[in-house]
Amino acid sequence: MPEKIKLGEGIESWQNSLNNSYYVIQLHHFADPDKADPKWLEARRKESPSEALYQMEYLMDFSAYESARYFAKFGLTTHIKSLTYNPEMTLYRGWDFGRLAPAVIFVQIDEDDTVLCLNEYVGGNLMINDLAREVTEFTEENFPQARLMDYGDYAGHQRKDTATKSAIGILYDLGIQINAIPCKSDADALMLIDQRLRTPEGEIKLFVDEKCFYLIDAFSSEFRWDTKGRHPVEPNHPFNDIVDALKYIFLNKYTVRDFTRKRIIPKEWFRRNIISNITGY
């Protein structure tokens, strides 16, 4: 990187590496005396939709989205704890019907409206009847006398040409009633989860039990932005499936009006190896 010239507190300049007479001026937030206080920066951090956005917008770390995880607010020490099932509260089950990696998440919401992810079930290559049987057995074993409410993918209403009933129809015949609403925006649905990890006020409103291995891996590393810019999220099973299962609960329990709307990241931010004609980087 070319040598920087300090022009003042928080202001630096350098000539780009293309030697085309352009100069770059880098202006830090602390160039403004009113924004030099660390408390101001910490307040901006709490307001940011994610840690990666905060790093990029306020610390000028433009590599923050290089293969960045989607749920950057999630912390292994702050969001994982041993949770206790309460048979007096409703047990919500979120279903993702994928044949490759069907997933079900088991959730309760306490009196403070905190989401508690108690356990998970992830199968493989299962027909819907077999999935229903295994999830029913898993539920009876881990959550006796549960008052159940089930949510799933609205696409589960669709019936394949070779089938007589849809996935939701088959589950209904087996005594499992799936509630499902259309998802108009996948980004909005994921935003609901992200904002529960840390609200605009800085509160943590979602905890994960240590038994949720796949969900923890998804939150901490495996559910990622698509850095190639083709999709919002990289395809990655079964981690996407367990997050989708949780997403269906959020879609039915919350609305995008509950939290500050998350900005959608333009695809241009993910493109690599593009040299700017102005900065040379």
CA distance 165 to 97: 14
The answer as to whether 273 is a domain residue is no
| pLDDT tens profile 104-128 | 999 999 999 999 999 999 998 888 9
68 with 98, same domain? Answer: no
Residue 191's pLDDT is 87
254 with 179, same domain? Answer: yes
The answer as to whether 272 is a domain residue is no
Q: Tokens 């403004």, residue?
A: 32
35 with 151, same domain? Answer: no
Contacts of residue 161, Cβ cutoff 8 Å, sequence gap at least 6 = none
Helix axes 51-59, 38-47, angle to 10 degrees: 140
CA distance 53 to 49: 7
217, 78 contact by CB (below 8 A): no
182 with 229, same domain? Answer: yes
Q: Tokens 């932005």, residue?
A: 225
Domain that residue 165 falls in? 90-258
41 with 170, same domain? Answer: no
Q: Is 153 helix (H, G, I), strand (E, B) or coil?
A: coil
Which residues of the chain fall short of a pLDDT of 70? 1-5, 14-21, 48-53, 56, 61-68, 160-163, 227-232, 255-281
Q: Left if phi > 0, otherwise alpha if psi is -120 to 50, otherwise beta: which for 119?
A: beta
209 with 119, same domain? Answer: yes
The answer as to whether 191 is a domain residue is yes
43 with 165, same domain? Answer: no
CB atoms within 10 A of CB 173: 10
55 with 102, same domain? Answer: no
The CA-based angle 97-237-188, given to 5 degrees, is 70
The amino acid at residue 93 is R
Residue 149's pLDDT is 96
113 with 208, same domain? Answer: yes
The answer as to whether 268 is a domain residue is no
The answer as to whether 84 is a domain residue is no
123 token code pair: 């199968």
Residue 105's pLDDT is 98
Residue 257's pLDDT is 47
Measuring CA to CA, which residue among 122, 134, 128 is closest to residue 167?
128
The answer as to whether 118 is a domain residue is yes
The answer as to whether 55 is a domain residue is yes
Residue 184's pLDDT is 72
136 with 177, same domain? Answer: yes
219, 203 contact by CB (below 8 A): no
Q: Domain containing 114 — which CATH number?
A: 3.30.420.280
Please give the tally of structural domains in the chain.
2
Output 275-281 pairs: Cβ under 8 A, ≥24 positions apart.
Answer: 275/18, 277/18, 277/20, 277/22, 278/16, 278/22, 278/24, 279/16, 279/22, 279/24, 280/16, 280/17, 280/18, 280/22, 280/24, 281/16, 281/17
Residue 261's pLDDT is 33
101 with 171, same domain? Answer: yes
206, 193 contact by CB (below 8 A): yes
Measuring CA to CA, which residue among 81, 69, 78, 76 is closest to residue 211?
81
The answer as to whether 77 is a domain residue is no
Residue 278's pLDDT is 43
Global confidence as pTM: 0.68
